[in-house]
Amino acid sequence: MNLSRRSFLQISFSASGLLTLGGLIKYLGYQTETSSAQKTFTLDKPSTYSIHSATHIASARAWMFRDEKGLYAISTLCPHLGCAVERREGDYLCPCHGSRFLQNGDVVNGPATRGLNFIRVSVGAEGKLQVHVDQIVSATERLTS
């Protein structure tokens, strides 16, 4: 089969266009969680977490903190596309696209356009903490116990 240069280029450009379109559809259709994903995680009792502590809760994709005002949790999911951010000293960094967030969750540079989510912390059965990853709360909300 003799393929002219023009035909070869047309086929190549068509194939690359289809691959690009497929990648774009996958990118735009990205979802950070499925309906079957666990939404509530049970942890230890509140007394386990000392003041000024920071505890990574990998299963919940969150960090649990305790300050003088109480306990709170910050999601480690980047609001840009849901990649797991990495906590460093003083800030968080998204390894996927480079968004950076301050320790308090505020966005410093994008592509993320908003800060990290603060998620609800409550006391459940047997006096143990529960982190509710599907319930976003104010950055000032604390569980006092």
CA dihedral sign of residues 135, 56, 116, 90: positive
CATH of the domain at 128: 2.102.10.10
Domain match, 2 and 71 both: no
Question: Which stretches within the chain are classed as H helix?
Answer: 5-28
Q: What pLDDT score does 30 carry?
A: 52
Domain match, 98 and 54 both: yes
Domain match, 23 and 84 both: no
Domain match, 22 and 52 both: no
pTM recorded for the entire structure: 0.70
Q: Rg (Cα) of the chain, in Å, rounded? A: 21
Q: Determine, yes or no, domain membership for 132.
A: yes
Domain match, 57 and 18 both: no
**Residue 22 belongs to domain spanning:** 1-30
Given a cut of 80, is residue 34 above it in pLDDT? no
pLDDT tens, residue by residue, 46-82: 888 889 888 888 888 888 999 999 999 999 888 887 8
Q: Determine, yes or no, domain membership for 143.
A: no
Q: pLDDT tier at 35 (50, 70, 90 boundaries)? A: very low
Domain match, 25 and 44 both: no
The average confidence (pLDDT) of the chain is 84
Number of domains in the chain: 2
Q: What pLDDT score does 111 carry?
A: 86
Given a cut of 60, is residue 104 above it in pLDDT? yes
- Burial of residue 37 (number of CB atoms within 10 Å: 0-12, 13-18, 19+): exposed
Given a cut of 70, is residue 1 above it in pLDDT? no
Q: Determine, yes or no, domain membership for 59.
A: yes
